Amino acid sequence: LKRDSRFKEVTADDVKFFKDLLGSDSAVIDGVTQDASEDLEAFNADWMRKYRGQTKIALKPESTEQVSKIMKYCNDNLLAVNPQGGNTGLVGGSVPVFDEIVINLSRMNKIHTFDDVSGVLVADAGVILQQADDHVGAKSHIFPLDLGAKGSCQIGGNVATNAGGLRLLRYGSMHGNVLGIEAVLPDGTILDDLSMLRKNNTGYDLKQLFIGGEGTIGIITKISILCPQRSQAVNVAYFGLESYEKVQQAFREAKKQLGEILSAFELMDRQSQALYKRASGAKLPLEAEHPFYCLIETSGSNTDHDSEKLNNFLEHVMGEEIVTDGVVAQDETQIHSLWACREGISEAGQHFGGVYKYDLSIPLPQLYDLVNETRERFQNNGLMGDTDDFPVLDVIGYGHMGDSNLHLNVATRRYDKQVEKALEPWVYEWVSKRNGSISAEHGLGLAKKEYIGYSRSETMIKVMKQVKGLFDPVSERCLIVAENW
Ligand code: FAD
Ligand code: 2HG
Ligand code: ZN
């Protein structure tokens, strides 16, 4: 990668402009006119410690007007910027590639309104997901998205990545739940589309371009989102199965028998659970090992009715020998520990050094074939083994079975180009041949932008570039994320 020389480097004058605008020192982390190397590390390095930028300045605006003035100044002066939320993204989009200015939304963290009749929440983009969920939870509602990074990721980042998460099966994607956004365009224009309406068929639905747009056409500053009623009865079951064929049968049965109360159906293979156990030291819920595990959650309004349904389902699938063994959580603590076995995998993947992550949409019947084939590939190429001589520790498969979304993680002892070469573009070709998507829910970021052609046609990519040009005419390349898609 080569830095685009058209983008200017930040000078002392620029720093002065930002300090005058943002006021307090902690709003401008400055490595240009003073040494701020330590503070800047948090803005430059991503969650996986895989992508690292070299920004010398990070800005933490407090208001939409400040974001607007920053963007206008950067646009006029050809300074590249990179929006940043909670920095939990998994595709290298949340950190700079070169010396782009980081615009971090963490100080824009106010919740504006929540109406418990309509369920509409209006909040700043920098509100942490967990805080948003706690806020609406106090009024018996639920934020329509939940994911393992909820303690750090921001709702603006969730919208920018169109994050999927653990309950998409039930509540649908951000494209359906977000009612409005306020965003700042590359030239500083404030686009006020902070609608609270469920229905509004008056022309193009522009906010949809920002949802999943990964900050390439503007910075989201506020969102309005529809939050459903929180279910009074939540039940979780975790069970073991002997084959992927049986996993599919169990999913079919769960839809048939649990219908409207099914809120999650997650898949974990034996290797993913073993790695989670090894990394966290936690005890797994079932004594014996099984080739596959599933986690089912139901959410409904009647405890007795829901428990009966779930127990009947389990009795049925065990009677039919679809499921080998299973447990149902008896209280809140057990619900948390069952969910931890699923949510903790992502972190376990990188616990022993590094990880190569692939987030893929694959037609269900073939979804697990890729994990088997990847494992075989590493068994045959001499890169995977039990000692430190081998870079690859294990290949694990898990994910949102209910959404046909596989997470393939290759857990390594260290990042190694040979491992990457064995995986890319092979994984993308494999997925493309089966008409899947090379990014189901994490986005393109820097990691996958080169590979977009495996999931989108030339015509679509051309139109995307035209859209980008419309919002950001200054450069065909992205001013917002200097290394754009
Ligand atoms: P960041 O990581 O800071 O940014 C992500 C991208 O959005 C970047 O391109 C950034 O430039 C852009 N961006 C951020 N904020 C804004 C804004 N206000 N305006 C415009 N652009 C912006 N993802 C899923 O989909 N499902 C999961 O189940 C899931 N689980 C995860 C579990 C763990 C443990 C971790 C670490 C990550 C997980 N993710 C998951 C990845 C997911 O994309 C993020 O966690 C989350 O949506 C990103 O939010 P963030 O605030 O951290 O954004
Ligand atoms: C999950 O579902 C996340 O746990 C992360 O999307 C997946 O780390 C991954 O590969
Ligand atoms: Zn996921």
Q: 433: which 2 tokens?
A: 């041949």
Whether residue 481 is predicted with pLDDT greater than 90 in this model: the reply is no
Nearest residue (by CA) to ligand 2, atom 6, is 165
Considering the domain boundaries, does residue 194 fall inside one?
yes
Residue pair 224/121 in contact (Cβ under 8 Å)? The answer is: yes
Q: Find, among 288, 233, 250, 175, the residue nearest to 401 by Cα.
A: 250
Helix (H) or strand (E) holding 266: strand 262-269
Which of 79, 107, 135 is at the close of a domain?
A: 107
Tell me whether strands 392-400 and 325-328 are parallel, antiparallel or unpaired: unpaired
Considering the domain boundaries, does residue 459 fall inside one?
no
- Ligand 1 atom nearest the C-alpha of 46 is 2
Q: What is the ipTM of this complex?
A: 0.99
98 and 115 share a domain?
A: no
In which order are the strands placed within the sheet that holds 101-104? Answer: 28-30, 57-59, 101-104, 81-84
Residue pair 266/180 in contact (Cβ under 8 Å)? The answer is: no
99-131 pLDDT tens trace: 999 999 999 999 999 999 999 999 999 999 999
Count structural domains, the chain: 4
Distance CA 405, CA 166 (A): 11
Please report the sign of the dihedral spanned by the C-alpha atoms of residue 274, residue 277, residue 299, residue 403: negative
| Domain hosting residue 391, numbered range | 354-443
72 and 174 share a domain?
A: no
398-446 pLDDT tens trace: 999 999 999 999 999 999 999 999 999 999 999 999 999 999 999 999 9
385-398 pLDDT tens trace: 999 999 999 999 99
Helices (H), 111-189: 129-137, 155-161, 168-171, 174-177
Q: Find, among 6, 52, 64, 9, the residue nearest to 31 by Cα.
A: 9
Considering the domain boundaries, does residue 281 fall inside one?
yes
269-286 pLDDT tens trace: 999 999 999 999 999 999
Q: Compute the distance from residue 147 Cα to the ligand 3 centre, in Å.
A: 7
CB neighbours of residue 206 within 10 Å = 13
Distance CA 298, CA 309 (A): 9
From the CA atom positions of the chain, what is the Rg in Å? 23
Ligand 2 pocket test, candidate residues 49, 88, 90, 404, most atoms within 8 A of CB: 90
Which CATH number characterizes residue 389's domain? 3.30.70.2740
- Ligand 2 atom nearest the C-alpha of 349 is 8
CB neighbours of residue 427 within 10 Å = 22
99 and 117 share a domain?
A: no
- Ligand 2 atom nearest the C-alpha of 346 is 8
Residue pair 123/178 in contact (Cβ under 8 Å)? The answer is: no
Residues whose beta carbon lies within 6 Å of some atom of ligand 2? 90, 148, 346, 349, 357, 359, 407, 409
201-213 pLDDT tens trace: 999 999 999 999 9
Minimum-distance ligand to the CA of 358? 2
Distance CA 455, CA 438 (A): 6
- Ligand 2 atom nearest the C-alpha of 408 is 10
120 and 218 share a domain?
A: yes
Q: 225: which 2 tokens?
A: 């989102």
Considering the domain boundaries, does residue 469 fall inside one?
no
Q: 17: which 2 tokens?
A: 């402009």
Give the pLDDT of residue 475: 61
Max CA separation in the chain (angstroms): 73
